[in-house]
Every structure is written in structure tokens, then in C-alpha cells.
Amino acid sequence: MNLDTKIGLVGAGTMGAAIAQGAATSGFQVILNDRDAAVLDRAMGQIKGSLGRAVEKGRLTEAEAEATLGRLTPSVDIAGLAPCGLVIEAIVENAEAKAGLFRTLSALLTSDALIATNTSSLKVDDLAAAVSHSERFLGLHYFFPAAVNPLLEIVRGAATSDAAMNAAAIFAKATGKQAIRCRDAFGFAVNRFFVPYLNEAVRLVDEGMNPGEIDLAITTGFGTAIGPFKLMDISKPVIALHACRTLAQMGQFYQPATSLVSIGESGALWNAALPASVDPVTAKTIVERLQGAVLTAVLEALDEDVATPEDFDLGARIGLQWNWQPCGGARALGRVGTERLVARHFQDRPLPGSLDTLFG
Ligand SMILES: NC(=O)c1ccc[n+]([C@@H]2O[C@H](COP(=O)([O-])OP(=O)(O)OC[C@H]3O[C@@H](n4cnc5c(N)ncnc54)[C@H](O)[C@@H]3O)[C@@H](O)[C@H]2O)c1
């Protein structure tokens, strides 16, 4: 994979347009495809606006912005993707729609062209059935906002070849991303613990705590600009509910909290009002509860070989911008402290074997 490799993006919505912009800014020729011409017009307008702002801020020269636009070709014609060496799918999150697209792409592309899905909640292996030569199929899971968020998960399906994984890693680096390699498990690496973090915050509300207090305690405890409730309001609580329901297939710990179901289904927002301060004992309880939920998910995922401890920490640091990372945080706490934080989630089942890996 090099800059001569033509890149195809299918779906010019929120994610596809931003991924296309990032790849074109890095020097790749990109065909941005959508079945809807109006969506393509809107996407190109948004990309122009975003590049214009980058020029104003001095992050790009005017010539670089022009050249980036010159490398982007919007198209409603799927056949135009034939010369691409990598096609990234970013269409609606619907298994049948994605399978239909993969069948079309399989017939269109050369057999060694990589095909990637940006799905957040479907299994790469379930989608792979619609791809011919499925050794060239994998997940490239970008994070919002995809043009600038530096994190990218490269998801290996059962059939994905080493060559495809390595080519994807080269593409990630060439487009300025820091990549985590992970297995095809629900939530991949980052959402596996990020969604339980949001869900545990809501469980605290179910137990009578105030969302504003939780937001304030977490901005300090995790070093984030905003807390979980403000964050859920930005992307809409129903998105968190949907993500939680995907993970819920893995067991009781991942079941959505009662208020997440009611707020998510009603379409309401949390509208949490930040208090001036939180009592230190309450703040410690809040931070430890969310750390305990994150650690529970990460320890289970380590048992399943979803990703390495270093990559879980990288995801927390650069994808979520936390200053507390799960594996580094656990090691700093020590085994006894870590077991205390996760104990409530392992009352009726054995502690994960990964504790031995973490603590040697
Ligand atoms: N939004 C996020 O924060 C986020 C983050 C990570 C991954 N994802 C995943 O990325 C994918 C896209 O999400 P989005 O938020 O950009 O969606 P979106 O609704 O903004 O865009 C989807 C686009 O796909 C187009 N489309 C649908 N079917 C098509 C087809 N057969 N051929 C060509 N174009 C088609 C639609 O016209 C639409 O423009 C989903 O799988 C989603 O789960 C989203």
C-alpha cells in the first residue's frame, strides 16, 4: 500500500466524508461514493468548509487545501470504484445493506483489493460471508470526528490475512492514525469498556445519585473535558443505549441501566446541571465505580485476547483522552486494589485470569 493506491469510500455521511477527507489530506486519491447525489454535494461542501478552517488556523496552506480537494472525486457510480486498492464501507448500520454492497464490490474489485467495514456494532465475521476472497476483508473502525481523531481500530476477522492486517496498518500510519489491532468481539477494544463506563454512570443515577455531580467528579477523576452525561447528550442517549444493547449479548454486566432505557427510548436528554463542587467522599465513590466497570470489561476482554493491555491504554489515552488508563491504572493500584474495584461484578463468578497476566 502506497500513495498510488486508490482509496474508495462508500457512504458520504458523517463518517465516510470525514474518512475521505483525512485520506485525501494525507495524499491519497479518493473516490467518495454515495447513492444519493445530494448527500455527496453536502459532504463536499462540508469538506471544503473544514479545509478552509484548517487554512485559517494555519494547519494547512491554501495550496495544500486545493490539492486535497483535487484528490477527492465524488461519485454516485459504484462501478467507478473498480481501480481502488482499498474500499472502506461507511453506509448505514444495517447488515443486509452492507452485505449487498460487499457482493457488488466483490464482483467489481480485483481479488487482492482490500475491503474494510467501519461498522460499530456488527461482527466482521458475519459480514465476511458476503465478500469473495474474505482474507482481504477486515474492520477499520474510526472514531468521531474521524478526520481528526487519531485512533483507528484494525479489526481482524477469522479469515483476515496477515498481509491485509499489515497493509491496513501501513494505511493507518500513512493517514496519521495510531492503530490498535483487535479481535472481532462486540465493541472491539474501546467501546468494550467505554460503553460500560457510560452505563455505570447511569446505574449510579438509578441508585439516586445526581448526574451533574457524576459529571463533575469524572472530569476530575478521568481528566476529561466533559462528563459521561454531557457526552451522551451530544451524541444522543439513544446511541449509548443502542451500543449498550449490542454489548448486552455478552451477559448480565453489560445490560443497559434502567434509566438509560427510559431516557434513550423517550428521546430525552440528561441536561445535567454541574454543581459548584462535589463532596470528596462522594467523588471518590463515583470515580471508583466507573473505574471498576471499565476494569471489569477490560479484564474480560483481555481473557478473550481482544487486544493487548498497551492497546487498551492507548485507546483510552488517545481515543477518549482520559488521563486514567485501565491497565496502567490497575497496575498502579495493585492487585488487591484492583480486585476491590471489580468485586461487585464478580460476586457469582470467578475473577478473570487476566489478573495474573497484569500482575505477573
Ligand atoms: N457516527 C459515528 O460516530 C460512527 C462512529 C464509528 C462508526 N460508525 C459507523 O459508520 C457507518 C456510517 O455511519 P454514519 O454515522 O456516517 O452514517 P450516516 O447515516 O451519516 O451516513 C450513511 C450514508 O450511507 C449512504 N448509503 C446508504 N446505503 C448506501 C449504499 N448502498 N451505497 C452508497 N451509499 C449508501 C447514505 O446515503 C448516507 O449518506 C455505520 O456503520 C456506523 O455504525 C459511526
Within this chain, do residues 162 and 214 fall inside the same structural domain, yes or no?
no
pLDDT, tens digit, for every residue of 222-265?
999 999 999 999 989 999 999 999 999 999 999 999 999 999 99
Within this chain, do residues 236 and 337 fall inside the same structural domain, yes or no?
yes
Within this chain, do residues 283 and 171 fall inside the same structural domain, yes or no?
no
DSSP letter at 315 equals I
Residue 156 counted as domain residue: yes
Within this chain, do residues 216 and 96 fall inside the same structural domain, yes or no?
no
Within this chain, do residues 23 and 94 fall inside the same structural domain, yes or no?
yes
Q: What is the CATH number of the domain that holds 22?
A: 3.40.50.720
Within this chain, do residues 178 and 206 fall inside the same structural domain, yes or no?
no
Within this chain, do residues 49 and 112 fall inside the same structural domain, yes or no?
yes
At 21, list the grid cell.
Answer: 477527507
Pocket of ligand 1 (CB under 6 A): 10-16, 33-36, 39, 90-93, 97, 101, 118-120, 142, 144
d(CA 36, CA 155): 28
Q: How many domains does the chain fold into?
A: 2
Residue 234 counted as domain residue: yes
**Phi then psi for 76, rounded to 5 degrees?**
-95, -5
- Which range has the worst mean pLDDT, 30-34, 77-81, 147-151, 282-286? 147-151
Within this chain, do residues 172 and 212 fall inside the same structural domain, yes or no?
no
Exposure class string for 269-293: b at 16+ Cβ within 10 A, else e: ebebebeeebeeeebeebbebbbbb
Residue 1 counted as domain residue: no
Show the domain range for 314: 190-359
**Active-site residue among 134, 149, 191, 354?**
191
Q: Which atom of ligand 1 is nearest to the CA of 11?
A: 24
H helices within the chain, ranges in order? 14-25, 37-56, 62-70, 95-108, 124-128, 162-174, 190-206, 211-221, 228-235, 237-247, 258-266, 280-303, 309-314, 326-333, 335-342, 354-359
Contact 217, 278 (CB under 8 A): yes
Residue 322 counted as domain residue: yes
**Active-site residue among 153, 200, 213, 300?**
153
Question: Does the pTM exceed 0.85?
Answer: yes
**What average pLDDT does the segment 168-174 reach?**
97
Within this chain, do residues 112 and 213 fall inside the same structural domain, yes or no?
no
Instruction: Assign 97 a pLDDT band (cuts: 50, 70, 90).
Output: very high
Within this chain, do residues 75 and 158 fall inside the same structural domain, yes or no?
yes
Within this chain, do residues 169 and 29 fall inside the same structural domain, yes or no?
yes
Provide the pLDDT for residue 132: 96
Within this chain, do residues 316 and 211 fall inside the same structural domain, yes or no?
yes
